[in-house]
Structure 1
Amino acid sequence: MSASRRSLLPSRSPIRPSLHFPLASIEEAELFVNYVFELRGDGESASCAIAVHRGWAIATDDKKAISFIKREASQIQIVSTLVSSSSFR
């Protein structure tokens, strides 16, 4: 496995976990930083930034992330196993 490929794999350290994911651009990285401020978590922030920047759907069950995406990027499709009360109307 090449060194560049290894750097994209998540760290397995239980002491100091680190986030490794490929960002497409500076703009995507800026979205990530802004979303971390709002969502307080690296994983959902990265997923949201990638989905918004690339125009992809997002799969999440995080209620805060779902609310954030609906508010900030309503054009993004959200896939979730959570059932809202509005689904039954």
Structure 2
Amino acid sequence: MASPGWVDDLLNDQARNICQCANLTDGSWMWPSELAYYVETYHVELPADFLDHMASHGWITPEVGDEVLERLDEELAKRYGFDSEED
């Protein structure tokens, strides 16, 4: 799920446009597109469950279907208080 917007570094106000805004998923986990940047730049530790899950799948994220993306869209809409059906 991508957006035409760009993400700035939340920890360094001098770092702009570090990547395009998107949510990535393998159908089980969802993470922001800038996660790799924070791991590389700030050595952010990731949850062991996430690392184990990704390693068990060979660090490959499968393509997910529309049904999964729609479910995630609904979950995000509920979490952040907006209607996922609105355009």
TM over 0.5: no
Structure number with the higher helix fraction is 1
**Normalising by structure 1, what TM-score?**
0.28
**Normalising by structure 2, what TM-score?**
0.29
